[in-house]
Homo-oligomer: A and B are copies of this chain.
Amino acid sequence: MTQPPRGFPVSEFRTRTRAAQALMAEHALDALLLTTEPEIRYYTGFLTRFWESPTRPWFVVLPALGDPIAVIPSIGAHLMRQSWIVDIRTWAAPDYDDDGIGLLVDTLAEITPAGGRIGLADHLESHVRMPLADLRRLEKCLSPRQLLGDATITRRLRLVKSEHEIDKIRHAAQIATRAFDRVQGTVRAGMLLSEVFRRFQMLCLEEGADWVPYLAGAADLGGYGDVISPATDAPLAEGDVLMLDTGLVWDGYFCDFDRNFSVGPPEPSVESAHSRLIDAVHAAMEVARPGKTIADLFHAMNAVANPGGDVMEAGRLGHGLGMQLTEWPSIIPQDHTVLVPGMVLTLEPSVTVGPGKLLVHEENIVIRDGAPEVLSSLQSRDMRVI
């Protein structure tokens, strides 16, 4: 399996930056302030697992004109210098008295007019990654400049992926496909679920994942109670449905899909639930065309998976996918986002198979002109048997 090149040509970051600046002009924003991992990586390419540490805040500022400016802890300067960013300003974090706020205020004051408008992500799926006391201090120090919402600029840009981005997601999904295909040769009844999870993560790495930030799942008789649990130390038993849902990463991009396995031959109720899930995915594939909406995908899947009405325990039937395990939008009836080529989505129908028991299935697709491209090698209606 040849892997795509790592990283991006600088032109891609420039394109993203210019596109953001065009939207900033529309919304009369003089700067964007970025504080979270995906926002910062989107414009700079800064890729590190160091975000796992909550200690240090990181800032990138997008001016109305020109290239992004990094205002970051000195520990990150060497890595940021490998990116296309030239203007890198650092402080020795952690600093208990002023953890970058002074430097950030100076930077923002330099590139925005007095009374300028600075946009900060404030919408669903976002948060501001800095201490609340520092945010309030920043707001005060910047006055009369204003901190406002970012008009969802970055979220809107990230919604449609470039071919370089899709190449990485496809590669991640192919790795997961190969790992799932090896589960039946690796897992057997009696194995502890914690051991199953461990071995599956090893398969993902063996097949080429850079790391495995997400694995959830469950195993229970005839279905499972939820889809977000970590493994217990209970052994896999005959009649269990084992579900493994992974978000593995290659070069900073995720896939996100699951597979269900029956330990021994599946009960007819489980078999038919599984078939309905597969049919629901196919129904969504039929409507996944430019011009249709996210809500259309919801209704296509739900009509097949839950002919009796909406089942909304999970809250949605899929979502965006890319630099994060889950991204905007959510596949719910209230989302009227129009599909355009380059959107990468998960289709994730769920059905109830009994009191407190459900089955969930998930695939990853790209919206294309015409039929969607499938990234995750579609599962057949037949359940995989261990």
A-side residues, CB < 8 A to B, are 6, 47-50, 52-56, 73-79, 92-94, 96-97, 99, 120-133, 136, 149, 194, 197-199, 201-202, 205-206, 208-216, 225-233, 247, 312-316, 319, 324-327, 330, 332, 334-335, 356
In addition to A53-B325, A210-B231, 20 A-B residue pairs with Cβ atoms within 8 Å of each other are A48-B216, A49-B213, A49-B228, A55-B326, A74-B312, A75-B228, A79-B226, A79-B229, A94-B316, A96-B332, A122-B131, A123-B133, A126-B131, A126-B132, A127-B127, A197-B211, A198-B209, A201-B201, A201-B212, A211-B215
Report how far A123 CA is from B125 CA in the complex, Å. 22
A356 lies within 8 A of B228 (CB): no
CA distance A78 to B99 in the complex (A): 39
A120 near B92 (CB under 8 angstroms)?
Answer: no
Q: Which residues of B contact A125 (CB under 8 A)?
A: 54-55, 94, 131
CB closest residue in chain B, given A147: B132
Q: Is the CB of B129 within 8 A of A127?
A: yes
A126, B230: Cβ atoms closer than 8 Å: no
Q: For the complex, would chain A's binding face be called helix, strand, loop or mixed by DSSP majority?
A: loop
CA distance A48 to B232 in the complex (A): 12
A55 touches B122 (CB 8 A): no
Number of copies: 2
Residues in chain B near residue A48, CB distance under 8 A: 216, 228-230
Once bound together, how far apart are the Cα atoms of A74 and B313, in whole Å? 6
A-B contact pairs, 16 of them (CB 8 A): A48-B230, A49-B216, A52-B213, A52-B247, A53-B324, A55-B125, A75-B315, A78-B226, A120-B132, A122-B136, A127-B130, A127-B132, A128-B132, A198-B208, A201-B201, A201-B212
